[in-house]
Structure 1
Amino acid sequence: WRPGPGIGFFRAVEAALGPRDIIAEDLGFLTPSVRKLLEETGYPGMKVLEFAFDSRDTGGGYLPHCYTPHCVAYTGTHDNDTILGWMASAPAEDVELAKAYLRLNEQEGYHWGMMRSAWASAADLAVMQLQDLLGLGSEGRINTPSTLGGNWRWRALPGDCSPELADRLHREMEIYQRLPE
């Protein structure tokens, strides 16, 4: 690792382009200097719900009750498996904790329950992958980090986004007051 340009870079970008909505990718190992830079920029960080139930990583503030408004909630990112893929491959104790904490059940659909938890959080923005909205398993995964080949191939197909899906998503956004004003 080498030191980057720091806050001067972000000030120069804002001076050249004006204020922009930027999300800081603050996942993984964060040094004190990274935390300071995040604070100086004022950019919201990321909260990945799948990380909340990783028994290898305690802490990190990924449980929804830890979210502040000034963050962006995700169930997973392009580097994670889909919700259903994660549930099929994660250690059983991690999945059981997620089910208990989030009150997940088959009737609602595990993926809908997990997304609901992100939408219900205090996060100003909640971003879901289309694969999770469609209820896909690992066949919908976009990327597996540190691997070659087979990544970035998933594509939505005509007809994947049905009027029923749109209606359900609209209802959820209405319930959690996430509709545009």
Structure 2
Amino acid sequence: MDGVLWEGQTPLPGLLPFFAALRSTRRAFVLATNNAGLTIDQYVARLGKHGVVVSSTEVMNSAEATADWLMARAPGARLNVIGGPGLVDALTRRGFQFADSGVDFVVVGKDYGLTWQKLDAAVLAIGAGAQLVGTNPDVTYPIENGLGIGNGAILAALTAATGVAPIIIGKPEPIMYQQALAR
């Protein structure tokens, strides 16, 4: 949705006519975003603020896709998480345990509170055998006045430090698309 429906907090031209045309087709749709920073309810509210009414089943983000992917492979796994409210919420609702060490996966999403300590804990966990999972590979994302640093840049730093390539869940990889189609 970032850079497609809005930039920063500003809706892009044609937003309301696009959704009017989409609704007129009476086809089911899923809005998919790589941004894992917000919860689905926050996306529904943000769309509503711009005059677009959608249900939570019509919105998917890479946080939910990542949590579903992990549930299918390792329910109850211990996770080291670098991520914001959207990712933490999605993982918590599925019963995952969070820790800095002794984890099965390091899961990386947009984290406005990112610190060197979080990065160090992730590097140590990966070095101890945890798998690296990224919500998306985007090295930048659109903000009001240009491009901001994206999740892929953080994943690149972790890969450079560990030599371990991440498993990517979000677009353009097929996992999130497959989950959206299954809805």
Q: TM-score, normalised by structure 1?
A: 0.32
Q: Which has the higher strand share?
A: 2
Q: TM-score, normalised by structure 2?
A: 0.32
